[in-house]
Copies of this chain bind each other. A is one copy, B any other.
Amino acid sequence: MQIARDERELRARRAQLPEPVGFIPTMGALHAGHLSLVARARSECASVVVSIFVNPLQFGPSEDYDLYPRTPERDCELLAAQQVDLTFMPAQAVMYPVSPVVSVDPGDLDKHFEGARRPGHFRGVATVVLKLLQMVAPQRAYFGRKDAQQLAIIQGMVRDLNVPVEIVGCPTVREKDGLALSSRNAYLSPAERAAAVRLSAALRSIAERLRAGETDIHAMIAHATQLLPPLETDYLGVVVPDAFVPLATAPPKSHLLVVGAALAGKTRLIDNIEAQTP
């Protein structure tokens, strides 16, 4: 596996790779969720490129940028074992040689849920992903469905800005008890880890009611909220996957997403589950 640390090196090595090139942008601290994206790209593409960059632009001032887990040696071992061709590990000065002025604005896609809780987060995500797509120039880029609003914003960005890449959304990888894998799960104490499963259980309860034909989303949320303690509810909601505006009433014959966030101690968990209405 080759490693590139600056843009010139990345572009030179990328130019030598057989196409199609599949790309997985990550912040490192890799887990089985990331590796499922790598395996998917490996199975579909002639070459696989991964980036590892903890992007300061997507962390709020009170968030965990400094604390975010960093395990570069282990990450590289995992990626090499998955036959990744090229890993891009830029320093902050490579990605942001000057303080960036121009950025990607997610528009109405970040006005609710994660976007409302984390002002500037998705602008930072969209901007760094566009930068990486410009540098790596992949034919396909792979994102987990666990970060559903992020996926909707990346898909909207690629559509609205005509970026020549296919965005592939991949299934959320879960622990046996249903907890969605996340690098931030490393923060959980054993008691918090035990409680964390309640988020996916609450989302499933809403999804089951939607599938059964219930339409009053506020009532479904009220019921599901009672399932969350000792987790502290941040939000529960139901959206059309590419819009991320909270629905009050479930429309019939629709493909919807049930989204939620909750706190386990100081650790914020997010998750989502698909639901088809009858």
Enumerate chain A interface residues (CB-CB to B < 8 A). Answer: 7, 11, 98, 100-109, 123, 126-127, 130-131, 134-135, 137, 153, 156-157, 159-164
Which of B11, B101, B127, B162 touches A109 (beta carbons < 8 Å)?
B101
Contact A130 B98 (CB under 8 A): no
A105: B residues at CB distance < 8 A = 102-105, 123
Pairs A–B under 8 Å by Cβ, sample size 22 = A7-B162, A11-B164, A98-B160, A101-B106, A101-B107, A101-B160, A102-B106, A102-B107, A102-B153, A102-B156, A102-B159, A102-B160, A103-B105, A103-B160, A127-B161, A130-B161, A131-B161, A131-B162, A134-B161, A134-B163, A134-B164, A137-B164
Supposing A130-B161, A134-B161, A161-B134 touch, asked if A108 and B101 sit within 8 A by C-beta, the answer is: yes
The secondary-structure label for the interface of chain A is helix
Complex Cα–Cα for A130 and B102 (A): 12
The smallest C-beta distance from A248 to any residue of chain B, in angstroms, reads 21
The smallest C-beta distance from A113 to any residue of chain B, in angstroms, reads 15
The smallest C-beta distance from A242 to any residue of chain B, in angstroms, reads 9
Complex Cα–Cα for A102 and B107 (A): 5
List the B residue with the shortest CB-CB distance to A153.
Answer: B102
A163: B residues at CB distance < 8 A = 134
Complex Cα–Cα for A131 and B158 (A): 10
Complex Cα–Cα for A126 and B130 (A): 14
- Beyond contacts A101-B106, A103-B160, A104-B104: 4 other A-B pairs, Cβ-Cβ < 8 A, are A100-B107, A100-B160, A102-B106, A102-B159
A159: B residues at CB distance < 8 A = 98, 102
List the B residue with the shortest CB-CB distance to A134.
Answer: B162
The smallest C-beta distance from A97 to any residue of chain B, in angstroms, reads 8
Which of B102, B109, B160 touches A161 (beta carbons < 8 Å)?
B102
Complex Cα–Cα for A104 and B163 (A): 13
Complex Cα–Cα for A130 and B158 (A): 11
Complex Cα–Cα for A11 and B163 (A): 12
List of 6 A-B pairs having minimum Cβ-Cβ separation, nearest first: A101-B107, A105-B105, A100-B160, A102-B160, A134-B162, A102-B157
Complex Cα–Cα for A123 and B160 (A): 13
Complex Cα–Cα for A15 and B253 (A): 42
The smallest C-beta distance from A131 to any residue of chain B, in angstroms, reads 5
A98: B residues at CB distance < 8 A = 159-160
List the B residue with the shortest CB-CB distance to A136.
Answer: B162
Which of B7, B109, B137 touches A102 (beta carbons < 8 Å)?
B109
Counting chain B CB atoms within 10 Å of each CB, the highest count among A102, A108, A160, A161 belongs to A102
